[in-house]
Amino acid sequence: MIIHLSNARLIDPEALTDAPGSLTIAKGVIGAINAPAPKGARIIDCGGMCLAPGIVDIGVKIGEPGERHKESFRSAGLAAAAGGVTTIIARPDTTPAIDTPEALEFVTRRAAESPVRIRHMAALTKGRDGHEMTEIGFLLDAGAIAFTDAARVSTDAKALSRAMTYARSLGALIGGHPQDPNLSAGASATSGKFASLRGIPAVSPMAERMGLERDLALVELTGARYHADQITTARALPALARAKDAGLDVTAGTSIHHLTLNELDVGDYRTFFKFTPPLRSEDDRLAMVEAVTSGLIDVISSMHTPADEESKRLPFEEAASGAVALETFLPAAMRIYHAGAIDLPTLIRAMTLNPARRLGLPQGRLSVGAPADLVLFDPDAPFLMDRFSLRSKSKNTPFDGARMEGKVLKTFVGGTLVYAAES
């Protein structure tokens, strides 16, 4: 079937343009742009709303295997579709970890329940324990898109350098979590006035720079392809810039929460605002927004991390980290757009084209022949966030009760409509 999306505001992250136009979907791909509607096409009037490539979200935690009560592939997929996320890049920090081709085959099979595309990252080391590399070759053959031990940081530099050297020969992408694990041990907040006032064990922002510098030195040593999952502090940015200038094959992401919230949001020990790494100062938040605008930070991720009620209803230090974010990703991103900090194509680029390019995926583009993974959204529609309206099995969002702007109207994956908002 041919679908013609007329009267749209096309947000093109490749050309960095934001202009009225139309788009035609044929055979699951983008068949034409700004061409007249073909005969017999189903015409959808977009009413002047934004049409952009669907979001490619690196670093989504899904509870399978091990914690299906927190999130299944199906619930995550439904949440993603409603949030305009058309490709989920799932994390391997499951129980057990995705560290064998067999485990990868299992999740690949389970992922068929999702209405959006799901690709899997595999663990870099067995059991994510930081010592012995996984079967990187077999895992690549089985479809692993990148290798990471997620938030668990190895102190075994020798093992890491070997894993990265081996991965380089296969062209595999390594995902790092820049954080010095000793300096940050036991911390649940960023050190400073607020953490001191609340008496929460805290870590210096310097731990992130130390972790990043170590990883970048290993990249220089091994020539590996490297993506830092979350840069969240201003002090880490010069190291990142130097590595890029030196021509290392390095990219970096940040999380939507570190772009839209700061440490003060924790307020009276609100555990829905506990993250790994912890929320930072407002100065750091602004520096991250600026780094996304300048392109120094390439990718914005939701870092979707489901946690059940029990694991959040605990004293702050003991509570679980992370938030569900697939459905709040786009409206949260609209906050920085509406604040005037960034234009829409640049913002969307960090959520679509940049992650897709880094992973070697054809998604993230508004060009003829690209997969018709699209999101139609109203950047201005206001709503009051109610966490129990989320499709995720877990409801741990920091935006509960918040006034937000930006609503997903329709989501297409491979030309198929997977979500349409009730009108």
Partner 1 sequence: MTFRARHLLGIEHLAPQEIVTVLDLADRYVDLNRRTVKQSDVLAGMTQINMFFENSTRTQASFELAGKRLGADVMNMSVASSSVKKGETLIDTAMTLNAMHPDLLVVRHGSSGAVNLLASKVNCAVLNAGDGRHEHPTQALLDALTIRRAKGRIQRLTVAICGDIAHSRVARSNLILLGKMENRLRLIAPPTLMPPGVEDFGCELFDDMRKGLEGADVVMMLRLQNERMDGGFIPSSREYYHRYGLDAEKLAHAKPDAIVMHPGPMNRGVEIDGDLADDINRSVIQDQVEMGVAVRMACMDLLARNLRAERGRKIVGMMA
Give counts: helices (H), strands (E), the chain: 13, 18
**Residue at 401: amino acid letter:** G
401 binds partner 1 (CB under 8 A): no
Task: Tell me which DSSP letter residue 277 carries.
Answer: S
Contact between 148 and 124 under an 8 Å Cβ cutoff? The reply is yes
Secondary structure class of 357 (helix, strand, coil)? helix
- Give me the least distance between CB of 210 and partner 1, in Å please: 16
Please state the length of the chain: 423
204 binds partner 1 (CB under 8 A): yes
Q: According to CB under 8 A, which one of 131, 168, 198, 244 is a site residue for partner 1? A: 198
Residue written as token pair 């100062």: 281
List the x/- string, 241-280, binding to partner 1 by CB under 8 A: ---------------------------xx-----------
Residues 171-190 that bind partner 1 (CB under 8 A): 185-186
Residue 319 or residue 418: which is nearer to partner 1 going by CB? 319
Residue 308 lies near partner 1 (rule: CB under 8 A): no
Among 83, 92, 190, 100, smallest CA distance to 139 is for 100
> Per rule CB under 8 A, is residue 200 in the interface with partner 1?
yes
As measured in angstroms, the least distance from the Cβ of 266 to partner 1 is 9
- Residue 294, token pair as written in the block: 């300048």
For residue 198, the minimal CB distance to partner 1 (Å) is 6
User: Which of 20, 238, 295, 315 forms a contact with partner 1 (CB under 8 A)?
Assistant: 315
Q: DSSP string of 66-128?
A: T-TTT--HHHHHHHHHHHTEEEEEE-S-SSS-S-SHHHHHHHHHHGGG-SSEEEEEE-SBGGG
**297 is written with which tokens?**
């930070």
Q: Nearest approach, Cβ of 270 to partner 1 (angstroms)? A: 9
The residues, ordered by sequence, that sit 6+ positions from 59 with a Cβ below 8 Å of its Cβ are: 89, 91, 121, 150, 175, 229, 253, 301, 302, 303, 304
Q: Considering only 163-171, 315-323, 359-367, 415-423, which stretch makes contact with partner 1 by CB under 8 A?
A: 315-323
| Residues in region 3-62 near partner 1 by CB under 8 A | none
**Given 145, 195, 344, 418, the residue binding partner 1 (CB under 8 A):** 195
Beta carbons of 153 and 181 less than 8 angstroms apart: yes
Tell me which of 166, 272, 273, 316 binds partner 1, using CB under 8 A.
316
Of residues 40, 95, 158, 197, which one binds partner 1 by CB under 8 A?
Answer: 197
Query: What residues line the site for partner 1 (CB under 8 A)?
Result: 185-186, 191-202, 204, 268-269, 310, 313-318
